[in-house]
Amino acid sequence: MNPPIAYTYEADTHCPDCAVARFGKEPGYPWPPEEAKDREGNPVGAIAPWDDWCNGEEEDVCTLACGTCGYIIDTHGPHAAPGVIEGIAQADRHGHPNWSHVFAFGPCTRQD
């Protein structure tokens, strides 16, 4: 079983921890209930580990970050620096929300 790496709701991407905190868990599984819906009534979407969330045409790094806590879920690109990115992701998990847009790892995709 390969659970999703992220979820989509409220027109944003969210880490599994934030999705479960918001919607709870499907009994017997580590993901939100199948019937979970966001405030607009849209079903919660899932990004699987094998999904192409980045089109791969960027010259820099694509960053998949949680819109709730700022956790850097995944990165893709020719200039990815996993050790640095993992260190920042851990810092974000421990109380520095939404820092992913501060670092120059690639184009910011947040619209707020």
- Give 8-35 pLDDT, tens digit per residue: 999 999 999 999 999 999 999 999 999 9
Q: Please state, in angstroms and rounded to a whole number, the distance separating the CA atoms of residues 72 and 99.
A: 9
How confident is the model at residue 50, as a pLDDT?
Answer: 85
- Strand stretches in 48-96, DSSP E: 62-65, 72-76
Kindly list the domain boundaries of the chain, sorted by start residue. Answer: 6-47, 62-101
- The distance of Cα 21 from the centroid of its chain, to the nearest Å, equals 14
**Cβ burial, residue 89 (10 Å; 0-12/13-18/19+):** buried
pTM of the model: 0.67
